[in-house]
Structure 1
Amino acid sequence: MASALFVVSEEGYWGEECVEPLTTLTDAGVDVTVATPTGSPPVIDERSVAPDTVGEETAERVREVHESDERLNDPEPIADVSVEGHDAVVFPGGHGTEWDVNQDRHARRLLRDAVEGDALALVVCHAVGILAFTRDSEGDLLAEGREVTGFPNEWEEGIVDERDLMPDGRKLPYWVEDEVVAAGGDWDAELDQDTSVTVDGSLITGRGPESSAAAARTLLEELGIDHPKSA
């Protein structure tokens, strides 16, 4: 059985970006383990379960999984897990990743080991920022020369104010697109497309919530696994 490790934020993950890949992989028979920075249950961004923001159906489905999924409610600490024994490592997005996952050396280790080893890495939305802070085994930035999509500046402008303050008052520490481009990433969020998923070797990146399902299906394709709904 194929297995995947999910690295989820305790500072606010975006519901659909975790739940969509989690349920898609589970439906395809992939064994999933969830890890968070401290081993505490991940915290969901309440905006991602607000019916006015994401629609009633998505809000209800995401909240149900967030509250009832045993894997999300009893995660492992990132420092205690490894890529070994897993076929993929998934980094769901959400603004919260900027405060914990993207800055966590153990999370960066997992990303590096997946990309350089025999596993695949799927990184979505704001979690793509981790590429700007992760170095490969030679000491070079992992983003250098890689084709990448992720949460674009154009969208960030509609969320933070002129002081980079979030709706909840927290100050956003950086903009994902700026950091990945500065780290040498070949950035294209394909804003003229409904979804954006990019594959560069063992690294798969997804733009945002609406690309989550496509990103999950792409991961399954790269793993050589058929999704039951497409069979």
Structure 2
Amino acid sequence: MPAKKVLAILSEYGYWGIELVGPLEKLEQSGYEVHFMTPHGKTAQALPPSYDTTYVDPPLGICVTTPEAAEKVKAFEATGKLANCLNMADYIPERPYHSATNFLRELENYYVKVKESHKALTDTYDAVLIVGGSGPIVDLVNNQRVHEIILGFYRAGKPVSAICYGVAALVFARDFNERDSIIKGKHVTGHCIEYDYHDGTGFMGTDFNIGPPPYVLEYILADAVGTEGQFHGNFGKETSVIVDYPFITARSLQCSFEFGEQIVNVLDNNLKRYGW
């Protein structure tokens, strides 16, 4: 029997530790092998606040990193499993510019290669997981290769899961000709505006603090799902995890283990709807 596998996509500018480790723990307990991919194959690193038990989340006004979560994240980081991440550029070609020489032939060739890439990935993996944190804002959300991977799993009818700012990538995953977001008409969750930062959004490998997030996740998700879908912020509730197959979305770090449980339920128990 072939191994059960999930592809986890991480930012090279920092991921929130438990948003990977939580679902990873649930997946591995259920017999899934998880492979890690970054945009250029560089090592993904956990954001320091995600293993700092003294860090106070400004919108919530409380410490959000529990001692248990911090230890799990530090233990995982120490394994070195993220030192040899798959290079996304090796799996998905870059779409040519319209101004490229011989653009039409290049675009035709691009679609041939993308189709092959989609088949290779979806033949290998049972689901894709996009991990959150501030890093995805930089190199995942508006990454055309990430969009193509999402589209490949979506078209194959396989689960597409995302947490926190990883959910934003679903907004922009669109057929290049049709333009509509693939989450149009769906139910999703993500950071509601009440939990957005006023300041301090930072990244690994740079001292640049962009202040608040560059976009309001609630607004772009609500616009993308349209009037036939719904954004569920679940403000005030401890967790927010939504399954509207094939999408599994989670609001933030507090949801990490529940998020992992529902990914497993989708994969193993045919769960199609949860949380709404």
* TM-score normalised according to structure 2 size: 0.74
Which one is further off, 49-58 or 125-134? 49-58
| Residue in structure 2 matching 1:173, options 190, 207, 214 | 214
Contact 2:159 2:246 in 1 (8 A): yes
| Residue in structure 1 matching 2:234, options 176, 179, 190 | 190
Residue 60 of structure 1 and its aligned partner are, at CA, apart by: 1.9
Query: 1:216 and 2:260 equivalent?
Result: yes
Partner of 1:38: 40
Query: 1:92 and 2:103 equivalent?
Result: no
Query: 1:108 and 2:141 equivalent?
Result: no
Residue 17 of structure 1 and its aligned partner are, at CA, apart by: 0.3
Amino acid at match of 1:3: K
Amino acid at match of 2:160: A
Question: 2: distance between equivalents of 1:35 and 1:135?
Answer: 21
SS of structure 2 residue aligned to 1:180: helix
Amino acid at match of 1:134: A
Partner of 2:85: 75
Runs of 5+ consecutive residues of structure 1 not aligned to the other structure: 226-231
- CA deviations on 1:145-189 (whole Å, 9 max, x unpaired) are 111101111111xx223xxx5266422322211222222352112
SS of structure 1 residue aligned to 2:43: coil
| Residue in structure 1 matching 2:190, options 137, 141, 150 | 150
Residue 136 of structure 1 and its aligned partner are, at CA, apart by: 3.6
- CA deviations on 1:187-230 (whole Å, 9 max, x unpaired) are 112124221111112111011111111111111111116xxxxx
Aligned length: 220
Contact 2:9 2:129 in 1 (8 A): yes
Query: 1:141 and 2:181 equivalent?
Result: yes
Partner of 2:31: 29
Residue 55 of structure 1 and its aligned partner are, at CA, apart by: 2.6
Question: 2: distance between equivalents of 1:217 and 1:48?
Answer: 21
| Residue in structure 2 matching 1:199, options 226, 229, 243 | 243
Contact 1:129 1:177 in 2 (8 A): no
SS of structure 1 residue aligned to 2:149: helix
Partner of 2:109: none
Q: Which has the larger radius of gyration?
A: 2
Amino acid at match of 1:202: P
Query: 1:49 and 2:93 equivalent?
Result: no
Residue 69 of structure 1 and its aligned partner are, at CA, apart by: 4.3
* TM-score normalised according to structure 1 size: 0.88
Question: 2: distance between equivalents of 1:152 and 1:169?
Answer: 24
